[in-house]
Structure formats: C-alpha cells, structure tokens
Chains A and B, each alone.
Chain A
Amino acid sequence: MNAASGGYRRRPLNWRGGLAVGAFLVLWELLVRFKVPGIATVPGPIESLVVFWNKYATQAAYWQSWLASFRRVLLGFVFAQLLGIPLGLLLGTRDRFRELVFPVIELLRPIPPLAWVPLSILFWPTHEFSIVFITFIGAFFIITINVFDGVRAIRREHIWLARSLGASEARIFRRIVLPSVLPAIGVGMTLGMAVTWNVVIAAEMIAGDNGLGRLTWEGYVSHTSTVVIIGMVSIGIAGYLSVLVISWLERRLAPWRD
C-alpha cells in the first residue's frame, strides 16, 4: 500500500501473464504440428487465426454474434444488479423481511440456471427473453447473497460511531451501510459476470439463433472445427473484457481499497 502518489496508481503491464499466454499458444501449435494423439484433429492457433482473418474478421454476421451475446449478458446482468442489490440490502437490514423471503431464495438458489431453460422457453414469448432471463438468474442469486453477507459484515462500531457523531439513520444508510457493502457488491459482480457468460453461451447453444454460443455450436454441427476454436476464443476474450470493466468499475467506486 504505497500511497506516495496519493490518488490512482497505474499498474505496470503484466508481462508475465502475456508470456504465459504466448507460451500456451506455442505449445498448442507444437502439439498439433507433431500430431500428438488426441490433439491431432484440433486445428492449431495459426490455422484458426488464418481462417479468422480471411473469413470472419470482416464478416458482419460474426460481429453480430458478439453484439448479440454482449447484449444478452448486459441485460441479464444489469437487471440482476438492479433487483439483487436492493434485495440483498433489505435482507441484511430488515429481520422480518429476511425471515419471510430468505427460505424462498434458499430454495431457488441451488437450481442451476440451465435447469430454468425449459420453463422459461414455455413462459417467455420469445427465445430472446428466455436467454436474457436465464442469464439474469445466473447473476441474480450471486449478487443478492453477496450483498446480504456484506450487510451482515458491517462493523457495528462504525454504525455506533456514526450515531455518536450525530448521523441520522438515513445518513447512516448512505454514508456507512452503502460504502461498507461496496466491496461485497464488487465481488458479487465479478463472480456474477463470469457466471453470466457461462450461462449465456449454454443458453444460446440450446435456444439461440445467433450469438457466440450459437456460432461455436454451428461450427461443431457442421464439422468445421476452426469455427469451434474461433467461437471459444471469442467467448474467452469477451468474458475477460467484461471482467476488466467490472474491476475498473470497482476501483472507481471504492478507491480506498488499495
């Protein structure tokens, strides 16, 4: 925690991480080139990149897959936060409400998001709604539970002192409870974002007619394994970018933490 510069510090570029990604790609290429059993039928990174560059990089449909998946993730994720954060705060601060609602949450929470697929296809008018809803489920319980735990971890000394220093209950909520819970919101969002990508891809494979998940599935169905690789790598990059955005948001919202 070197705070000599006071405010926001630039992080040095993580060259070790870059090196590891490079090494992984080289190893993959070598395994394919030397036809190591089990891997021989997988296209190598160079072949995939060539196909990507010649066929997909300039293809509107490919980028629309990105857009479609991102839109679903964003919608499901944002709705999950909008409902989950207030719900978690209520569960953590209102005992009666918690007693009433918590068992319902605990019953629904263990159901995997994908188990919701059949029901949501029946319930929602379009597949698009279904996919967004399933994505929402993926992030909703995570953020709710994290915020709830965050409220319960608030130090009572902070609340006591705020009262001693003359803060009203409304102010305690805004100036003590909310900032105390921000780190937990950050954790819930990071975990939720990763799950959201998992869920959206699977849901697209089952019920979608576009998106990165669908792209990957179509590559499999049509026996074009380079497309499978392109789809998978695209999903990885998309998920990574989303988590980067969340970490950036976290640092902006809670600058006192490191």
Chain B
Amino acid sequence: MSTATEARHGGLSVRRAGKIYDPGGAAVVALEECTFDVAPGEFAAIVGPSGCGKSTLLNIIAGFDRLTSGEVLLDDAPFATSAIAPPPGPDRVVVFQNGALFPWMSVLENVIYGPTRQQVLTAHAARDKAMDMLRRCGGLDTAAERFPGQLSSGMQRRVEIVRALMNEPRVLLLDEPFRAMDTVSKAAMHRHLLEVHALYPKTVIFITHDLEEAIYLADTVYVMTTRPGRIKRALRVSLERPRSRDMLASQAYLEMKRQVAADVHEEARKAFERGERELA
C-alpha cells in the first residue's frame, strides 16, 4: 500500500457496533458486535448479502443513522456511540448506489456545492479546483455545464465521486455505487476508481455484494454475515498496486477468491432462504 503514508488521517475503528431497528415493537437486529479497523488511506471493501446491514453501517458512519450499542472511532476519537450521533458532515461523504447528484444543478454546480456551502473556498477558487479535479478524473471537465440527466450513469457516478472528493473527506463511503451497471461499464468504473484512489488516496469504505470486485479493488476485504450483520472474516489482499485486469486470472487472486467464496456464498444462501430485503 504505497499511498497510505501520504494520507494524514482517516483511520476508522468500528467496535462492537450494534443497531436494532424497532418499528412498532418488532425489533430487527441489523448489526451485532460488528468490529473492524480501517487504516488511514486504506481501501476497505465490505462484502455481504442483501439486507445484512452493510448500508446501515455506512449510514451510521455518515451520520444518517444512530448506533444502539458499541462505538465508532474516527482518528482515535470516539465519534459515534449510542449516546452521540454525529451530524452528517463533509468529512464523510457517501456515494449512493442509485446516484444522488442534484438533477437541477449542472455538473459544476454539484461539484462546488460542498466547498462553497461550507465557505471553505470562494466560488472562484472552488470552480478552479473543481475543473482541475474533473479534468484529472477522466476528462469530466468537458461535461461541467451539463445537467446530470444528460450524462450516462457511469459518468454520473464519476462526477459524484469528484463531488465527494472536493470536500477533502477523511473517509469516502461508497454504497454499492456500480450495482446497477452492466459488466463492461462496471469494468471501466473499476479502473477509474483505482486511478482516482491512486490520485487521491483517501480512506475508502466500499460496500458491495460482489466478491470479485471487492478483491480487485480493496486492500482488505471484510465478509459480513447475513442479519444480524457482523464481520465473519477479514482478508488482506496481496495483489500489488497498480492493479490491472490481468490479475483477475492470477494464481494469487484465484486463491484468495477460493478462500472466502464459500463464506460469502453461505451467507448469501442464508439471506436468500430468509427472503431478506434491504433495510435502509
């Protein structure tokens, strides 16, 4: 992990996190005793079946939801507990699976919205920074004046990642951002995300149900159990960076996949039999 040393902060520690939803008495345990650590600059992937509480975990870190037990530490400071729910902030920005660019703002307006709203940059400086980042992230600057609805979903997702990065987040939270994409677009997005992460080495938490993409992208893969969600297994990915698609045929990759595939499939089967659906 050559880039980790450049990242100054963004270490995340989830300790015995628990979340119980209680809509009208029927308690649903979404998370239970969920524990793992992510080092600053690390790319962590969380793999689990539908409804295992992956998104719940992300929403808690982002500040959209509250823990019922345990705690989350950000750079060694307790930051979310059952008593403290941190407000959403620009240091933890989520990219959602269906995309959430504001359709009524141009690409550029979307991207500069954070820094200008928080008044950390003047409109002029934000504009310059945005155009620079958009250009660096795959030549998106040519689309700056378009509305999101005029772009492909892949391009929208790339813009959304730039919008998050514009805020210099400590953690970038990606909630199955490529779920609805076809295989070809997905492969292009993987390469793009790897390039962007090399360029802006932020701590990333990437949620997915796709084990292959998790291994290909991440430094560490955490396998989550079906509800109540907890970490069943952690896998250090030994593939070096920069990653290439050739590695997907390498012995090391196949071996890692073989090691955890059984766990992933077992949880997926349990979730399938119980007919789990997304909670949050």
A interface residue numbers (CB < 8 A to B): 1, 3, 6, 155, 157-158, 160-167, 171, 175-176, 179-180, 182, 254-258
Contact = CB atoms under 8 A, between A and B. Distances in A.
14 contacts: A1-B150, A6-B145, A157-B96, A160-B88, A160-B100, A161-B96, A161-B100, A164-B92, A164-B114, A166-B89, A255-B147, A256-B105, A256-B148, A257-B103
B149 A165 contact: no
A165 B103 contact: no
A179 B150 contact: no
A246 B100 CA distance: 28
B70 interface: no
B204 to A, nearest CB: 16
Interface residues of B, number: 29
Contacts of B113: 162, 165, 167
Given A1-B149, A256-B149, A257-B149, A161 B103 contact: no
A167 B102 CA distance: 13
Q: Which of A6, A163, A180, A254 has the most CB of B within 10 A?
A: A163
Interface string B95-112: 010101011110000000
B89 A164 contact: yes
B154 interface: no
B62 interface: yes
B62 A160 contact: yes
Contacts of A254: 104
Q: Which of A157, A160, A165 has the most CB of B within 10 A?
A: A165
A249 to B, nearest CB: 16
B89 to A, nearest CB: 6
Contacts of B62: 160, 164
Given A1-B150, A256-B149, A163 B88 contact: yes
A175 B163 CA distance: 16
Contacts, number: 71
Nearest to B98: A157
Given A3-B146, A167-B117, A256-B149, A158 B93 contact: no
Interface string B51-66: 0000000000011100
A179 B94 contact: no
Nearest to A178: B104
A165 B93 contact: yes
A171 B145 CA distance: 22
B54 to A, nearest CB: 16
Given A157-B96, A157-B98, A164 B88 contact: yes
A258 B104 CA distance: 11
B156 interface: no
B87 A179 contact: no
Q: Which of A171, A179, A256 has the most CB of B within 10 A?
A: A256
A165 B114 contact: yes
B117 A176 contact: no
B167 interface: yes
Interface in B176-195: none
Contacts of A1: 149-150
Interface in B105-143: 105, 113-114, 117-118
Given A171-B117, A256-B149, A176 B90 contact: no
Nearest to A253: B104
A44 B101 CA distance: 55
Contacts of A179: 102-104
Given A157-B100, A171-B117, A176-B102, A164 B149 contact: no
Contacts of A162: 102, 113
Contacts of B87: 163
Contacts of A3: 146-147, 150
